[in-house]
Amino acid sequence: QSVLTQPPSVSGAPGQRVTISCTGSSSNIGAGYSVHYDVHWYQQLPGTAPKLLIYGNSNRPSGVPDRFSGSKSGTSASLAITGLQAEDEADYYCQSYDSSLSAWVFGGGTKLTVL
Amino acid sequence: EVQLVESGGGLVQPGGSLRLSCVASGFTFSNYEMNWVRQAPGKGLEWVSYITSSGSPIYYADSVKGRFTISRDNAKHSLYLQMNSLRADDTAVYYCARKTPGTSWFDPWGQGTLVTVSS
């Protein structure tokens, strides 16, 4: 069981908007304003390594389309994808740091299906 | 181009040992912290171990503490993971991932190397 909770799956039609939630606790996402407790998101296309999608709650690395956006509030975070495209079909993982475990932690992953 | 390339995976019997390597290129390896993250077949990501740019301190997940040892050779731009007393639940793809000091995210990741623990 993962420390950060994500829905196992979400789906949407091309062009639609979907959101993926990531729920933590006061020992990780909600632990404070330190960079340690920021939330980051990774996209893992089938058969490939994870790729950084969002860092520092809401920042996009160079090359990531602005269709992807992130937010954080309290002990939760969300990833939003607008204008869904077939190429967005992948697994998405959130990540933060847990002070009780003294470990970097991931969500269980969410499989996005583009209908 | 920033690149991480893992090697050393394979089939090993329960109780056996294996040493993974990760060779870095395209950046100044000695300036960055490094991690190992694993993914069991069909499962999610699990952080395994962390090492600072200088080699100390080092941290491990509870699931591998006392069995795995992370190390690095900055002169060879290489990261290692010595895995001993391997168990079936250590079966996974092992990724090395870079972490910039002062940040908490992993970027980039290598392509991964598969470790299978089975008799």
What does the pLDDT look like over A9-37, one tens digit per residue? Answer: 999 999 999 999 999 999 999 998 888 89
Q: Quick one: A66 exposed, middle or buried, by C-beta within 10 A (0-12, 13-18, 19+)?
A: exposed
Residues 75-94 of A with CB under 8 A from B: 93
Distance CA B86, CA A29 (A): 32
The distance of A31 to chain B (nearest Cα, Å) reads 14
Q: Which pLDDT belongs to residue A36? A: 83
Chain B hits for A106, CB-CB cut-off 8 Å, are: 44-47
Q: What residues contact residue B114 under an 8 Å CB cut-off, 6+ apart?
A: B9, B10, B92, B93, B94
Q: Which pLDDT belongs to residue B91? A: 98
What does the pLDDT look like over A55-104, one tens digit per residue? Answer: 999 999 999 999 999 999 999 999 999 999 999 999 999 999 999 999 99
What is the share, in percent, of chain B residues with pLDDT greater than 70?
Answer: 100
**Which amino acid appears at position A102 of this protein?**
S
Q: Which pLDDT belongs to residue A33? A: 80
What does the pLDDT look like over B24-43, one tens digit per residue? Answer: 999 999 999 999 999 999 99
Calculate mean pLDDT across residues B87-95: 98
Q: B97 to chain A: nearest residue by CA?
A: A50
Q: Quick one: B109 exposed, middle or buried, by C-beta within 10 A (0-12, 13-18, 19+)?
A: buried
Q: Which pLDDT belongs to residue A1? A: 85
Q: Which pLDDT belongs to residue A34? A: 82
Calculate mean pLDDT across residues B43-56: 97
Distance CA B29, CA B2 (A): 10
